[in-house]
A and B are shown apart, each in its own frame.
Chain A
């Protein structure tokens, strides 16, 4: 079955667990990762994770867990029994949906791959492997510790161990030609099992790559070249049956990452561990943005003292939530159901702005039934009038970014957000009565 259009992302509750340690820091990475050559007291960390889960349980109450994701850092540095203890604890605190997706990010080296079966036994049913490149010289340039052979071996272990797995590649690398990327991507598609994350190299501030880039020692493809590579990627993955369901994520129908879809559909999720972000809905219905202490040792001390590592918890206004829903949802091929947005937050972008952006060929209005079809290269664009502009009773449309619009999402979101206004007539009425 294709990923179903969620009737209401409010009912989705996921758990993100951040494991902050890495064997080494990659020069392009700006994630909250830390290297500790002296190791760490894993048992102590485990009890802290369990205590933070208890804290979230008290805040959010009874929920059904839709998905769990171990991210990092490098979660494949965790002992399988640590993962098992966390999952068992979650199952004690909440009902976990049958078949819930439980993903763990893994590094493709033999040591970590040897733990895959342990993770499987603990309950993990999907791994996401940070392959990054299928070229040894490129892996060296990206500062990775593994080789292509190790990556392929890890993929095979994953294939044997898990029903589902994905791996990541970084492209639009310095000097990367279209031909070189085609060849590499062809190999990747042959190795893939229903899901690939294909990221264009982004220069993140305060990373070693940012410094090299600033000094002109690292030159990445310009916008036009990057867009060509993107188009190539879209064509090849679609042909191979793994079309984009998000800006950088590709999957066969039904193989999408459910946990990541939860983010993009703007569901609720708890952030556990150092530097983890959450969007949790308190028992009184308020949605709050939470952030925990980034530094692992300080996070540990906080949890041991207070029962949680949350350093920021901000209630979000309807406007902020609507903005976040736009930011996330427009990344998806399925787009955003503005009717759902209006129902959840009482807000929707102006019909006139949707029409103007449609005329510019950057967004399109689609039918729910078209969601699974994927975006066409040539946007339907002009001529598509949004429904709802003439009659308050008409259902608000579903919109998405067209191929051209996907490159300028920031601007799209800004314009839609700026035009967003209250949709008073429809807040209380259930959508089903009108459609």
Chain B
């Protein structure tokens, strides 16, 4: 049980004493560590309660060092001018998949602290987020982190920030979030250099819905930024896009623990609860106003985040189907960008076709299903949405290669393209260019930022969706950074590649590929499956085919010898334990015809060794 929240009313804060800011940083550049330090310096968390990455509450966030959900925390900071300021820190995700989370956080702030690793320099994702902040007219406060490292080169990185981002970095603050060095100067600068919010507390309530989630104790919690007027306990508010009206039951802030207040005034960020049944009743970006005295004009709002990557998720044990549905519904409560619908596969039985914002999002959702709900899953090949222009003139959106209609009925197929920005040290440029070329990329620009190349490429999303990011990291030894946005649809010479195991097509392994890449993909998948499917008592042919035409084949030889020469009374236990292990291992397999295919094969078969 959480502590019983305290309820008291501090004097209403003058907007000139409020600063709202986000922290923008690349993964591992120290955003969460810096947040931790700021929180500690303002005395919000006792040393006893302090743990690393305090704002990343999910295990998966801590382990991977990433932020998935935006978090907010109010800090009371006593400035050297003698006044106490209310600082609202919005911790935001750094990954491109969660760009929509970033955009709504930025919309709630007047400033952003840009954290750049003083030895690594600016990365592609940082760039995308800073541009977004600049578009939102945010004041940028550059901070160079990790300046205590021997490899730090503050001058070079300052110059780079000016060159690449185009903002003045001459007074960027050098800090070490890890040791706490100079972190106090960041707090000072937030007060001195970021603008306070504006807003008239006497006007009718106008607040922006930043986020909402389900809390086991409080019900649906709505995170808001008050623009004008006040949000009070007991007030009846209205969501302007849905017209839903609710009584405000609780008003509060996060420090990061919940703290109840009587009201929130202009410029303040906090939460309220009010008998809202489902997270689905709330729209991110919606305008919240007083039911009786509404504001005249609603805020512009946000476009809802659209899934761009799809894959099938099937329970390993068919009996877990309902549990999987339940688990996905629970995750969807707090993540409206994740979508799913029932799918049935000839090979895998009943499961779900799921939509994600990107690959990291896919990985995180599947990992959470496995970890938090103890489910064993088979994940099928990720796919994008293809536009099938049929001969009759109609256009069909295809999320799943298994749904591909007869090719004679299709006039042409369009696929989504992205524009990708890649920053890579010169040494690895050749390898990255080759990778982009291999993936059907078209180079738009190649410029230099110091010793690093900045590449802008157009790429088909279906070439990126699977393992492009892994490959990029591997060919650049982790030095390349990558960001993208969807550009539009283009016609492509696309075909459905089917995989036949023991002469039977396995629908869950079929993919859509460009004709020119079909043969190499088919060969690579057959080779991979040969490694992944254990030998059986009989020989297993593996074939890749376009329609009826086989374009690649491999054979898994029959199992020849697995028996031990000796087995006496002392060997039984060991043999039985081995058998138990084998049986448990084979439970994770699915049988197709007579062939048992390990669950991981459905994804692993797609990985290509490009060299």
Contact = CB atoms under 8 A, between A and B. Distances in A.
B562 A328 contact: no
B537 A411 contact: yes
A418 to B, nearest CB: 6
A407 B563 contact: yes
A328 to B, nearest CB: 7
A372 B572 CA distance: 25
Interface in B535-568: 536-538, 559-568
B538 A360 contact: yes
A271 B569 contact: yes
Interface stretch (B154-162, B195-203, B467-475, B574-582): B574-582
B537 A279 contact: no
Interface in B240-258: none
A16 interface: yes
A415 B538 CA distance: 13
A161 interface: no
Nearest to B567: A331
B561 A226 contact: yes
Interface in B567-606: 567-573, 575-576, 578-580, 582-583, 586, 594
Given A271-B569, A279-B572, A291-B573, A417 B561 contact: no
Interface stretch (A114-122, A319-327, A344-352): A319-327
Contact of B570 (A199, A201, A277): A277
A303 interface: no
A269 interface: yes
A14 to B, nearest CB: 8
A277 to B, nearest CB: 4
Contacts of B579: 323, 327, 410, 413-414, 417
Contact of A408 (B537, B568, B570, B575): B537
Nearest to A327: B575
A289 B560 contact: no
Given A324-B576, A410-B582, A417-B579, A224 B538 contact: no
Interface in B501-539: 536-538
Contacts, number: 97
A18 B568 CA distance: 13
Given A247-B563, A411-B562, A414-B582, A276 B570 contact: yes
B538 A407 contact: no
Interface string A359-379: 010100000000000000000
A324 to B, nearest CB: 5
Contacts of A260: 568
Nearest to A270: B569
Contacts of B563: 247, 406-410
B569 A279 contact: yes
Contacts of A31: 570
A24 interface: no
Contacts of B594: 356
Given A418-B583, A418-B586, A247 B565 contact: yes
B593 to A, nearest CB: 12
Interface residues of A, number: 48
Contact of A16 (B562, B569, B580, B586): B569
A224 B560 CA distance: 8
B572 A327 contact: yes
Given A323-B579, A327-B572, A414-B586, A408 B567 contact: no
A202 interface: yes
A410 B576 CA distance: 10
Contact of B572 (A224, A324, A406, A415): A324
Contact of A417 (B559, B562, B564, B583): B583
Contacts of B562: 407-411
A227 B560 CA distance: 8
A263 B569 contact: yes
B147 to A, nearest CB: 48
A407 B580 CA distance: 20
Interface in B46-64: none
Contacts of A226: 561
Contacts of B566: 199, 202, 248
A429 interface: no
A349 B545 CA distance: 38
User: How many B residues are at the interface, by size bracket?
Assistant: 20 to 34
A320 B537 CA distance: 24
Interface string A236-249: 00000000000110
Nearest to A201: B565
A331 B566 CA distance: 10
A368 to B, nearest CB: 24
A360 B537 contact: yes
A180 interface: no
Contacts of B586: 414, 418
A413 B582 CA distance: 11
Among A278, A320, A407, A413, the most chain B Cβ lie within 10 Å of the Cβ of: A413
Nearest to A257: B568
A328 B570 contact: no
A200 interface: yes
B535 to A, nearest CB: 8
B328 to A, nearest CB: 30
Contacts of B580: 323
Nearest to A357: B537
A360 B540 CA distance: 13
Contact of B573 (A224, A247, A289, A406): A289
A397 B563 CA distance: 24
A328 B560 contact: no
A248 B570 contact: no
A291 B573 CA distance: 9
B591 to A, nearest CB: 11
A223 interface: yes
Nearest to B538: A360
A298 to B, nearest CB: 18
B561 A328 contact: no
Interface string A180-213: 0000000000000000000111100000000000
A275 to B, nearest CB: 8
A327 B576 contact: yes
A287 to B, nearest CB: 12
A392 B498 CA distance: 44
B573 A223 contact: no
A157 B176 CA distance: 83
A202 B564 contact: yes
Contacts of B567: 247, 327-328, 331
Contacts of A323: 576, 579-580
Contact of A202 (B565, B572, B575): B565
Contacts of A224: 560
B515 to A, nearest CB: 39
Contacts of B565: 199-202, 247-248
Nearest to B536: A411
A392 B421 CA distance: 70
Contacts of B576: 320, 323-324, 327
B569 A408 contact: no
A72 to B, nearest CB: 11
A19 to B, nearest CB: 13
Contacts of A71: 568
Nearest to A360: B537
A275 B571 CA distance: 11
B414 to A, nearest CB: 46
Interface in A283-331: 289, 291, 320, 323-324, 327-328, 331
Nearest to A199: B565
A409 B573 CA distance: 16
Given A331-B567, A411-B536, A418-B586, 18 more contacts: A16-B570, A71-B568, A202-B564, A202-B566, A224-B560, A227-B560, A247-B563, A248-B566, A271-B570, A275-B570, A279-B569, A279-B572, A327-B572, A409-B563, A411-B559, A412-B537, A414-B583, A418-B583
9 contacts: A16-B570, A32-B570, A71-B568, A277-B572, A320-B576, A327-B579, A360-B538, A410-B579, A411-B536
Q: Which 9 A-B pairs have the closest CB atoms?
A: A199-B565, A223-B560, A409-B563, A410-B562, A277-B570, A223-B561, A407-B561, A263-B569, A200-B565
